Amino acid sequence: MSTEPDSIRLVRNATLTVSLDGTTFLIDPMFAEAESAPSIGNKPGVPDYLETENDRRNPMVPMPDVDFSHDAVVVTHRHDDHFDEAAVEQLDSDVPLFCQPADEEAFVEEGFTDVRRVNDQASFEGITIHRTPGQHGHGELAEMMGPVSGFVFEGSETLYVAGDTIWYDPVAEVLDRFDPETVVLNGGAAQFEGHEPITMGVDDIAAVREATDATVAVVHMEAINHCLLSRDELRSAVEDVLVPDDGEELSL
């Protein structure tokens, strides 16, 4: 069990460590080395922050040198930028691993022995973990992207990790139901050619900022080549949101 103070650390992309009431959760571990995976194709034109043609291999940035030791793992969904082969190789097979029901079988097949599907809620070391809905894009593309989830962690503080979702009514309902002190959003406006973004862009993040008094932090940026919204662009466009750099820790 961790003795760290309550905090969130952005590791890279959507990989976080959340320390709450003496327990640390590792969320969406993507451990691949920089440029070890191919570029995501069918993406729009070059985002300004890349400065070169948008054919960069993924992840575009290395892992920061930070401590991501943990007591349990939480995976919002199994896309490669949230859980990858390197994570399978590096995680302990008996780590408590919380996931959405649709992903349980795949984790078991990979050899994890303590997989805990979260239908509605679960508990761990005094923390209540609620699974929340997400919509990974718009229209038919959202259906193709498969099921995704967010999670609310309730302890002495309440933290909402929204996962890969756009702003839509169920996100507002989660904010109303749980009234979290802190909200973590996956930004980046990840996009495929001819489609609307599949993660939050400026308008989505602004809508969340308007809907809650919570501290709002935005991650999932500048690590995968189809994430077209940069940190600087977001900081300029939406006031009163935290946009941490890779490796940065935020106190709860």
Walking along the chain (252 residues) 10 residues at a time, the average pLDDT comes out as: 77 98 98 90 56 73 96 98 97 98 98 98 98 96 93 98 98 98 97 90 98 98 94 98 98 90
What per-residue confidence (pLDDT) applies to 2? 47
What per-residue confidence (pLDDT) applies to 94? 98
pLDDT digits (tens, 9 = 90+) for 39-89: 886 655 555 555 444 678 999 999 999 999 999 999 999 999 999 999 999
- The domain ranges of the chain are 7-251
For domain 7-251, give the CATH number.
3.60.15.10
Hunting for tokens 């923390």 — which residue is that? 127
pLDDT cut 70: percent of the chain above it: 93
What per-residue confidence (pLDDT) applies to 193? 80
